[in-house]
C-alpha cells in the first residue's frame, strides 16, 4: 500500500470506479457499492480484504515484477524415500503437466503421500529457477507442510506465511502460505500447488478463487490436491475441462479404516452415555491415543471439562480454530503430549499423527457432511505400522452423510 505521491512506476490505484456507483478492489478483485462503504472522510473502502489492512479510494498498490532471482542449486531434493509404482505414475504425470504449463487435479485418498508425489515436479521447477507457492486454506496444513518442504529441499530458500504467523516475510523461491496470503501477490508464481482445494474457506469463495488466479503468472502450472474433490472439480473433469490423476491407495498399501457407527439415545450427553464412556475407558487402559471430534467450539471446551471429571486419569486437552494456542497445542500433541485431543473440524484434514484412533461425537450434526467425515476418518491408520487404527461415529440418527462417508471409504478400498 502506498500513496499517489510515491514515484514508484509500478503503482496503481487500490480501488477503481465502475458503473452504477460501484467500485472494484484491485487487491481482492471484489466489486462493491460506494454508497454502502462510504466513510465520513469522503472516501470508500473495500470490506472483503480488510483483514490484510484497510484499502480506501485514496490508497495505491505497488506490484514488483517477479525476476526469479534465485541462486542455482545443483541437487535441490534431499529426500531419500522411495515412491510406490502408483505414486511414481502420478509424479510422472505432474512432471508432464509442469513441462506443458497446465492445470491438473491430484485426486488421492488421505494418507496416500500427496506431498511426496510433488517432489519430482518441484525439483524440476527449482532447477528451472521457477518461483513456487504451496498454498492451503488452513493454517494447520501450512505449519505441517513447511518443515517437510524444508527437510526435502534444504538448499532452497523457503518461507512460511500466514495471518498470525511469527516469521517475517522474506523473498524465497518456495513459499508455503494460506490462500488468503496470495492476495498480497500479483503474477508472482510460476508454479502454484493448492492443497485441500475442496476445503473451507476456499470452497465457494470468489475472493480466494480470484487470489489464486491473480498470484500466478500468465504462463503457469497450477496443481490442485484433494482427497474429496468438490462438485465443482468433478464437473470440470466430466466436461473434460480439467485433467486429473487418481490414487485410491495409501502409500503403505493397506485399506483405509472403515468407520463403525454407534447409535446414541436422544438426550444422551458424553457424561451419561455408558457406551462411549466404556469405549474411552478401554482406550485409557490400552494407552491408545485418540482424536475426539465434536461439532462446535463451545462443545470442545465443555467436553474437555466433563472428561476431567468422568475420566480423571485421561491426559487430554482441546483445540479449535479460535484457540490462540492452536498451533502450539497441535505441535505438542504431535510430540506425544496428552493421550487425547478434543477438536472441532479444524483438524479434519492436512494433519498427520502417528497411531491415532478417531472418534466423532454427534456425527449426525449438520457440521459433519460426507466430505468432512471422510477426511476425519482419514486421520487414522496413516502409518504402515498402525494401519488398523479404529474410527467410530457416534450419533442420534444414521444420516445420509454418515452412510455416504462409510460407503465411499469401502468403495475406495475396493478400488
Find the CATH number of the domain harbouring 273.
Answer: 3.40.50.300
- Asked whether 194 and 225 are in contact (CB, 8 A), the reply is yes
Both 209 and 271 in one domain: the answer is no
- Residue 153: inside a domain: yes
How many distinct structural domains can be found in the chain?
A: 3
Give yes or no: residues 272 and 367 share one domain.
Answer: yes
238/96 same-domain check: yes
Same domain, 134 and 44: no
In a domain, 114, yes or no: yes
Q: Which residues are 263's β-sheet partners?
A: 395
Residue 324's SS3 state is coil
Range of the domain at 293: 260-410
Q: Are residues 146 and 221 in the same domain?
A: yes
Cell of 336: 506425544
| Ordered per-residue pLDDT tens for the chain, 415 residues | 555 555 666 889 999 998 888 999 999 999 999 889 988 888 999 999 998 899 999 999 999 889 999 999 989 999 999 999 999 999 999 999 999 999 999 998 888 889 999 999 999 999 999 999 999 998 888 999 999 999 999 999 999 999 876 678 899 999 999 999 999 999 999 999 999 888 888 888 999 999 999 999 999 999 999 988 888 888 898 898 999 998 887 777 678 899 999 998 766 677 778 888 899 999 999 999 999 999 999 999 999 999 998 899 999 999 998 898 988 999 899 999 999 999 999 898 878 888 999 999 999 999 999 999 999 998 998 887 888 899 999 999 999 999 999 999 998 888 6
Residues 107 and 192 in one domain: yes
Same-domain pairing of 330 and 395: yes
Last residue of a domain, one of 247, 276, 311: 247
CA dist 58 → 13, 138, 189 (Å): 8, 32, 28
**DSSP bridge partners of 395:** 263
In this structure, is residue 403 part of a structural domain? yes
In this prediction the pTM is 0.84
For every residue of 113-173, DSSP letters joined together read: -HHHHHHHHHHHHHHTT--EEEEESSHHHHHHHHHHHHHHSTTS-EEEE-TT-SSPP---S
Would 75 be classed as within a structural domain? Answer: no
Q: Which 3 state secondary structure label does DSSP give 82?
A: coil
Q: Do both 133 and 155 map to the same domain?
A: yes
Same domain, 277 and 381: yes
Which residue, of 247, 279, 295, is where some domain finishes? 247
The full length of the chain comes to 415
Residue 103 forms beta bridges with which residues?
222
Q: Residues 92, 207: one domain?
A: yes
- Cβ contact 157:177 at 8 Å: no
Residues 230 and 96 in one domain: yes
Domain boundary among 226, 247, 268: 247
Amino acid at each position: 500500500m502506498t500513496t499517489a505521491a510515491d514515484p514508484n512506476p509500478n503503482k496503481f490505484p487500490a480501488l477503481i470506479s465502475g458503473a452504477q456507483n460501484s467500485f472494484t478492489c484491485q487487491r481482492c478483485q471484489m466489486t462493491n457499492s460506494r454508497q454502502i462503504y462510504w466513510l465520513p472522510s469522503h472516501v470508500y473502502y473495500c470490506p472483503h480484504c480488510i483483514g490484510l489492512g484497510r484499502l480506501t479510494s485514496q490508497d495505491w498498490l505497488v506490484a514488483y515484477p517477479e525476476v526469479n532471482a534465485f541462486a542455482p542449486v545443483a541437487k535441490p531434493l534431499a529426500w531419500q524415500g522411495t515412491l510406490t509404482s502408483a505414486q511414481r505414475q502420478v509424479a510422472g504425470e505432474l512432471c508432464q503437466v509442469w513441462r506443458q504449463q497446465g492445470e491438473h487435479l491430484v485426486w488421492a485418498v488421505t494418507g496416500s503421500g500427496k506431498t511426496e508425489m510433488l517432489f519430482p515436479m518441484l525439483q524440476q521447477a527449482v532447477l528451472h529457477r521457477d518461483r513456487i507457492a504451496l498454498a492451503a486454506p488452513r493454517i494447520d496444513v501450512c505449519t505441517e507442510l513447511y518443515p517437510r518442504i524444508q527437510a526435502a529441499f534444504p538448499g532452497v530458500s523457503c518461507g512460511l506465511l500466514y495471518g498470525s504467523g511469527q516469521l517475517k516475510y522474506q523473498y524465497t523461491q518456495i513459499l508455503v502460505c494460506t490462500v488468503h496470503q496470495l492476495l498480497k501477490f500479483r503474477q508472482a508464481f510460476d508454479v502454484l500447488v493448492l492443497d485441500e482445494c475442496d476445503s473451507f474457506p476456499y470452497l465457494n469463495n470468489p475472493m480466494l478463487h480470484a487470489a489464486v488466479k491473480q498470484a500466478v503468472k500468465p504462463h503457469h502450472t497450477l496443481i490442485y490436491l484433494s482427497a474429496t474433490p468438490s462438485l465443482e472439480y468433478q464437473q470440470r473433469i466430466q466436461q473434460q475441462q480439467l485433467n486429473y490423476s487418481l490414487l485410491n491407495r495409501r502409500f503403505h498399501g493397506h485399506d483405509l479404516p472403515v468407520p463403525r457407527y454407534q447409535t446414541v439415545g436422544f438426550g444422551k450427553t458424553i457424561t451419561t452415555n455408558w457406551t462411549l464412556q466404556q469405549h474411552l475407558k478401554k482406550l485409557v487402559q490400552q494407552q491408545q491415543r485418540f482424536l475426539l471430534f465434536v461439532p462446535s467450539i463451545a462443545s470442545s471446551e465443555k467436553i474437555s471439562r466433563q472428561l476431567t471429571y468422568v475420566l480423571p486419569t485421561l491426559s487430554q486437552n482441546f483445540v479449535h480454530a479460535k484457540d490462540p494456542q492452536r498451533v502450539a497445542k497441535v505441535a505438542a500433541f504431535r510430540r506425544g503430549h496428552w493421550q487425547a485431543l478434543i477438536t472441532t473440524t479444524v483438524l479434519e484434514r492436512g494433519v498427520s499423527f502417528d497411531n491415532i484412533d478417531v472418534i466423532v461425537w454427534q456425527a449426525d450434526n449438520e457440521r459433519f457432511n460426507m466430505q468432512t467425515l471422510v477426511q476425519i476418518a482419514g486421520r487414522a491408520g496413516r502409518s504402515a505400522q498402525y494401519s488398523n487404527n479404529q474410527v467410530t461415529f457416534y450419533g442420534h440418527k444414521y444420516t445420509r452423510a454418515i452412510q455416504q462417508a462409510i460407503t465411499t471409504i469401502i468403495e475406495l478400498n475396493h478400488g
